[in-house]
A = this chain, B = another copy of it.
């Protein structure tokens, strides 16, 4: 082979070499690799054996029985009762199963309607944003003004005076675009608007409405706020661009009931020798009042408690405790986890590693986590064990990961399920969040990954390193083996070019 070809092969091999920066102690690497057998056992049992399809079946039964589980309502509490009972049945027999009370608020959607009266009569479906106040009982009637951005509003603030403001902001990413939902009402109210209609935060729509929490700012007048579909936002924009006057009637009725009590739902697999040290797997049980919360976050909650079922069923009891916590009241501001954080303040030092899945349970790819370089290297090594389900990607993040667990971002190493969730926001906070989003096989793989990672971290000789220190040049994506097809392509190219 020529020198060029050698160079070429080197290039092909490069993506693999980044892992070598890790330099984990050989003993630790060996220790992690010794878990290949139990991890394979988990993977086999969940993807092909006795647990195949079970996470999906249990979740389907759950959402079919209860539907949407909005915080503050009876249905969520009944669903929690059901789960507490289910997890203690003979089949599952989880340990220390209990609920932990959380004080929660209760915002209730009432009637809501949007009606265009000019330039032509048409029903404009609206879905009130969480936390919104009501219009007067008889609704409001006003002209509509459309802005593509806050900048457009700020450039001509008086144009919003006395109007129904439509924000038709293009979807960039959830993080970027959601500010129109959270801050839109305050921004428009400051300019004298009567109400706000926000374009649903999604990259794809079939005339789909997507709700979510909105935030009012203290000292600024609260005005009613709802979302409209992407399609209707576009239509409003076109009218606006043609100088066609649009007039609408908007009626939004909401109600805030006195605070109530919900529960974080807890189950454990008690550690065999270091039971006070804990690895947490989690997701949230509450959902929005539209759809049935199968994806957000039924999937995350169910892979969490079902991981315990699998470990217990396979007789895999790790040294440390693995605890499933199914948060309540995530949707209206991470209330459940905040309460848990207070109640368990004294135990936080014993929380070795906290995992959460709240960004979909599509086909799992690996983990995104916030850990120091050593932690990242350990996770890389652990995730190599997930090669049989192609879920080996280890991605170290500088930012917080997850939703609920983000409150521990600088205290405890945290990880969130990395999955093939490109379509997540197609369904998010909408009537389309149903069991149809989920795939039994993908859910099995997610359960297998969840159970495997939790098991290994909970069973290692030493605690997972509680450090966020990053060694320079440590890889952002610490270990991401390139697919074989990539290597073959590089080799073919090399041979073609240089031989």
Q: Which of A59-67, A259-267, A280-288, A364-372 contacts B (4 or more CB under 8 A)?
A: A59-67
Residue of B nearest to A75 (CB): B120
Q: Is the CB of A427 within 8 A of B206?
A: yes
Bound-state CA distance A239–B120 (Å) is 43
Chain B hits for A434, CB < 8 A: 207, 231, 234-235
Q: A203-227 CB contact bits vs B (8 Å, 1 = yes)?
A: 0011110000000000000000000
Chain B hits for A432, CB < 8 A: 205-207, 231
A426 CB-CB contact with B under 8 Å = yes
Q: A187-211 CB contact bits vs B (8 Å, 1 = yes)?
A: 0000000000000000001111000
A-side binding surface: helix, strand, loop or mixed?
A: helix
A430 CB-CB contact with B under 8 Å = yes
Asked whether A64 and B206 contact (CB < 8 A) given A230-B436, A495-B496, the answer is no
A435 CB-CB contact with B under 8 Å = yes
Asked whether A207 and B64 contact (CB < 8 A) given A492-B496, A496-B496, the answer is no
Q: Is the CB of A235 within 8 A of B492?
A: no
Chain B hits for A60, CB < 8 A: 238
Q: A117-131 CB contact bits vs B (8 Å, 1 = yes)?
A: 001101000000000
Q: A232-246 CB contact bits vs B (8 Å, 1 = yes)?
A: 001100110010100
Bound-state CA distance A137–B64 (Å) is 30
Q: A397-439 CB contact bits vs B (8 Å, 1 = yes)?
A: 0000000000000000000000000000011001110111000
Q: Is the CB of B235 within 8 A of A435?
A: yes
Bound-state CA distance A192–B234 (Å) is 47
Q: Is the CB of B430 within 8 A of A206?
A: yes
Q: Which of B65, B119, B207, B435 contacts A120 (CB 8 A)?
A: B65
Residue of B nearest to A290 (CB): B207
Bound-state CA distance A230–B206 (Å) is 14
Bound-state CA distance A81–B66 (Å) is 52
Chain B hits for A235, CB < 8 A: 64, 434-435
Q: Is the CB of B242 within 8 A of A435?
A: no
Bound-state CA distance A120–B32 (Å) is 48
Asked whether A431 and B64 contact (CB < 8 A) given A436-B234, A492-B496, A496-B495, the answer is no
Number of interface residues of A (CB under 8 A): 33
A window 449-499: CB within 8 A of B: 492, 495-496
Bound-state CA distance A291–B436 (Å) is 23
Q: A30-73 CB contact bits vs B (8 Å, 1 = yes)?
A: 00000000000000000000000000000011001111000000
CB distance from A42 to the nearest CB of B (A): 27
Q: Is the CB of A65 within 8 A of B205?
A: no
Residue of B nearest to A234 (CB): B436
Chain B hits for A492, CB < 8 A: 496
Q: Is the CB of A238 within 8 A of B64?
A: yes
Chain B hits for A435, CB < 8 A: 231, 234-235, 238
Q: Is the CB of A119 within 8 A of B496?
A: no
Chain B hits for A436, CB < 8 A: 205, 230-231, 234
Q: Which one of A207, A239, A434, A495 has the highest number of Cβ atoms from chain B below 10 Å of its Cβ?
A: A207
CB distance from A487 to the nearest CB of B (A): 16
Q: Is the CB of A67 within 8 A of B122?
A: yes
Chain B hits for A119, CB < 8 A: 64-65
Bound-state CA distance A432–B207 (Å) is 5
CB distance from A154 to the nearest CB of B (A): 27
**13 more A-B contacts (CB under 8 A) besides A64-B235, A206-B206, A235-B435?**
A61-B242, A64-B119, A64-B239, A65-B120, A66-B120, A206-B426, A206-B427, A206-B430, A207-B431, A207-B434, A230-B436, A234-B434, A238-B435
Give 17 A-B contacts (CB < 8 Å), ordered by A residue.
A61-B242, A64-B235, A64-B244, A65-B120, A66-B120, A205-B206, A206-B206, A206-B208, A206-B426, A206-B427, A207-B208, A207-B430, A230-B436, A231-B435, A235-B434, A238-B435, A495-B496
- Which residues of A does B touch, CB under 8 Å? 60-61, 64-67, 119-120, 122, 205-208, 230-231, 234-235, 238-239, 242, 244, 291, 426-427, 430-432, 434-436, 492, 495-496
8 closest A-B pairs (Cβ-Cβ)? A206-B432, A207-B431, A231-B434, A206-B206, A207-B432, A231-B436, A206-B208, A496-B496
